[in-house]
Structure 1
């Protein structure tokens, strides 16, 4: 496990950070920035050192040219007058009294070769570039090299994510050759977080790799047969090299059915707990089974709130492994959210949010299945709770999946579910 690190975004969430929103007819982004800095420093903006010395103002004005339909838009961070500044679309400005922009770290803005494995490397990849390089080309090459595909095979246009000309000009040296080195611009592209630094580095990291390292929660959805969900579970949870605590929440099947299902052989050191939510339609007698070695079965016969409490408690017990930096991976699998959706007295987002928070707290991975079409009613309510969505379908080629990654705004092509046995 990797210990939590101080990140760049931490300084923009501190009590010393001031936020400025754009208003109508208040000039260009660079003008708004100068006025905001004047307010923070309590001086006339006209006597500030030229913004041009730190960043190209015209490029800054042009860097945010995309419409609001993109889920992740660029952000620019740099230092000016010993203050750290963050600019987001549509002109949201954050200014702190931190004197320097920290180094790039693990929380910064990156797909993997999805069909090979659900998660790729958690490591960031860094490339050097020269001021004379075409940064757009460098970014595309860096990402395609990481994925292992030809540059002609990318599914997105870089121009749909960031203005390539503005990207080139943002941190170009001054006319006299003085470098601008104290800032960076980041954006999503092909499922990667891409960070271009003024100091001549392009850093990329997959959103999935970051999800694996930091922990998160994934909704698995589709109007498909149950065996397709079982195949996807096998695909997601198979990792023979890890020592895991697997927590299964059963809302629609018995432990017997789960244990009889063909699954990959678990390493002997793995611990498995089954939280069996015994709804009225499924009798306690039908749910009980003889526990296998390293398998604990916890029956829950109360309400959905009791189930929620039990899951949070079981996940939280694994926190000591994270705190002690022990090599154990926590994985939660909820066999179906359908009973939660159908419970009129339960707000599904309120049911899920504390569970998802607990999973992230131990840097685990949670998978939650919902046997409905992604365009159905509940999606609007619950998809925002999760860190990613996997959509399933059955086509002429057989069971397929595609991943929807909200932070980079990337959706993969459909690809086969490779069941691991």
Structure 2
């Protein structure tokens, strides 16, 4: 087989949203070769660039041997091998079915946490936070949940505006000094609000309860439908250092 061709055909066309490709390699080709060809087909990159790179991730010979029949000739009925390669999450089933999914899309489905460290200008942080709140053009609206410990409620409202998310789809939990300021605010807002004071454990309990309430109200959330923004951990970190 030429390095830029393949005899395998996907069972389904790549999903334009999840970019998932599934296929069953032919018995005449090594499993590792077919995986390289599958990644090349999904990414549009010359497969010759991938062969050596795969060796650094997983032993191709071991991968091929893993799915060979047992010593008595019995076919293996179960088992899955999963690994990440060139931006794709790859799973190989015992029947040699290979599934490739974009690692970024997998994170979007399963959820991910992003911790921003260091001194970041407020305007840069606001723009970045608005982008992380998600795409407002989706058919199903996202819900935004803010926990604010060292910035005013207006910070959350500004980010909602930038992300084009209605205030009705947001909940703002204010803690510490921010909570006291929130109770004295006179400007009406449409986002749901709550406050909590006390220890870090009290804040954690309030966050978990709010998440549970939001999940119940949305029966339940679909993948990536809820975006949680904690701004910021600095007061909690300072309190923890003083306590220790």
Q: What TM-score bracket applies, with the shorter chain setting the length?
A: 0.7 to 0.9
1:263 to 159, 162, 166: 162
- SS across alignment from 2:89: strand
Q: Which residue of 2 aligns with 1:193?
A: 89
Q: CA deviation at 1:263?
A: 1.0
Q: CA deviation at 1:298?
A: 2.0
CA contact (8 A) 1:122 1:205 kept: yes
1:50-106, Cα deviation, whole Å (9 max, x unpaired): xxxxxxxxxxxxxxxxxxxxxxxxxxxxxxxxxxxxxxxxxxxxxxxxxxxxxxxxx
Q: Which residue of 1 aligns with 2:125?
A: 229
- SS across alignment from 1:292: coil
Q: Which residue of 2 aligns with 1:252?
A: 150
1:290 matched to 2:148 = no
What does 1:285-364 correspond to in 2, within 5 Å? 288=185, 290-293=187-190, 295-321=191-217, 323=219, 329-344=225-240
CA contact (8 A) 2:32 2:63 kept: yes
Q: Which residue of 1 aligns with 2:65?
A: 169
- SS across alignment from 2:145: strand
1:324-366, Cα deviation, whole Å (9 max, x unpaired): 6789922211111111222136899xxxxxxxxxxxxxxxxxx
Q: Per the alignment, do residues 310 and 179 of structure 1 end up closer, same or farther by CA in structure 2, a change over 3 Å counting?
A: closer
1:125 to 7, 13, 21: 21
In the superposition, the TM-score normalised over structure 2's length comes to: 0.72
Separation in structure 2 between the aligned mates of residue 129 and residue 264 of structure 1, nearest angstrom? 43
Unaligned runs of 5+ in 2: 1-15
- Count of aligned residue pairs for this structure pair: 225
CA contact (8 A) 1:131 1:172 kept: no
Q: Which residue of 2 aligns with 1:377?
A: none
- SS across alignment from 2:116: strand
The answer to which structure has the higher strand fraction is 1
The answer to which structure has the higher helix fraction is 2
CA contact (8 A) 1:181 1:197 kept: no
In the superposition, the TM-score normalised over structure 1's length comes to: 0.45
CA contact (8 A) 1:291 1:297 kept: no
What's the Cα RMSD here?
Answer: 3.7
